[in-house]
Structure formats: structure tokens, C-alpha cells
Amino acid sequence: MDLQNTFPLIGDKLPEMVVQTTKGVINLPEAYNGKWLVLFSHPGDFTPVCTTEFVSFAKKKEEFDKLNTELLGLSMDQVQSHIVWENWIKENLNQEINFPIIADSGKVATTLGMLHPNKGSNTVRAVFIIDPNGIIRLIMYYPQEIGRSVDEVIRSIKALQITDKYKVATPENWPNNPIIKDNVIIPPAKDTETAKQRLIDYKDSCFDWWMCYKKLE
């Protein structure tokens, strides 16, 4: 099979696809309308790094639920392999995998650029965060050898939701930034008068007219 990667960009609509999962057939992105979605790929079932990741995602499912966020895994393994692997995790690590896993024939992986040219049919560790309108808002790629941080995925969703709601930006490692802590950044002024007014309105929380911050309301 000739598998040719394509690469969607942040801000693109998630392509429409019908996928087979461990929870049945799902229409993407329609099935998740009104929800945030974390679509993440793993190189293969019955591999140690992937197993640690899936256990962590499953353990933090309630945190994702509170953020109106669904989880959807993927690899180019058959659905039977996914099911047997899920059962192994439950029996040996006492954790139920409480979200669906796509059994991909290659269509999803190539559409979303998840295949490494030197790794055969194994997908890289990709993460797509998709908003309730089906728009791709954040993309992360990791090599096969490095496990992801589920906490960073959760942090990123929280930051996206905050920036959407309040029309602000978030600093490095928000809400634990060493400079402005849990404050958020006010978008820079786009004209001279606004820049001057910023220094008055936020005189105690500006390093300069272009770097002002505030507490969340």
C-alpha cells in the first residue's frame, strides 16, 4: 500500500471521515459537534510506551469530561487487536480503557500526517485538539521513543478554552508562569492611543505598553 502523508494546519476543519472504532462506527467530526476532542495516535498495540500513555489518558478521563472533552485513540491495528490489548490492560494494570480507539487502515493516518516515512505503517505520537466546531486548534507530534504528558494535553485544552472565552493570551506554562504566575496576557495594542491608555489602565500590571497582564475575571 502506498501511504502518502498530508498535513492539515491549525485552523483547518478536521476532514470528514467515517472510522471503525472499538465502540462502533463514528463519523468525524460530526459525532463530536459541541464537544472538544483529543484525537491521538500511537505506534501500535502491545507496546510499552503506548500502554503507559493509554493508562494515563484513561485515569484522567474525568478531568477531560469536566472540560467537555472526548478522547479518541488511533493506530493502524485491527479492531480485534485493540480489544485484546484493552482486555490485557484491564486484567494486568487494573484500568479500563474508557474511550474508543480507531482501527485505521491508513486513511486517517495519511490524511493527518501521522506516518513517519522510516517507520513503516507505525504512526507517530500525534495529538490533535479539535474544538466544538470541528476546527483543529492545536497539533503536537512526538517521536515513537518519547511518551507524551497527559497533563500537558489537559493544560493546553484549559488554555484554549480560557483564550476563547476571555480573548486573551496565556504565558509559558500557564497557570504556573514564573513571571506573571496565573495571570493572563492582554493582547498588544494596535494603535498609539490604545498603547498609551494601557499604561494608565494597567499601570500596576504592565512591563511596557506591549506587555500587560491581568487576573481572570
Is 206 among the residues known to form the active site? no
Element (H, E) at 141: strand 136-142
Cα radius of gyration (the chain): 20
Q: How far, in Å, are 1, 121, 170 from residue 118 at the CA level?
A: 15, 9, 36
Query: What single letter denotes the amino acid at residue 64?
Result: F
Q: Which of 50, 97, 136, 153 is catalytic?
A: 50
User: For 40-70, b where at least 16 C-beta lie within 10 A, e where not — what string?
Assistant: bbbbbbeeebbbebbbbbbeebeebeeeebb
Q: Using CA atoms, how far apart are residues 97 and 184, in angstroms rounded to an integer?
A: 35
Strands 184-186 and 211-214: antiparallel
Active-site annotation, residues: 50
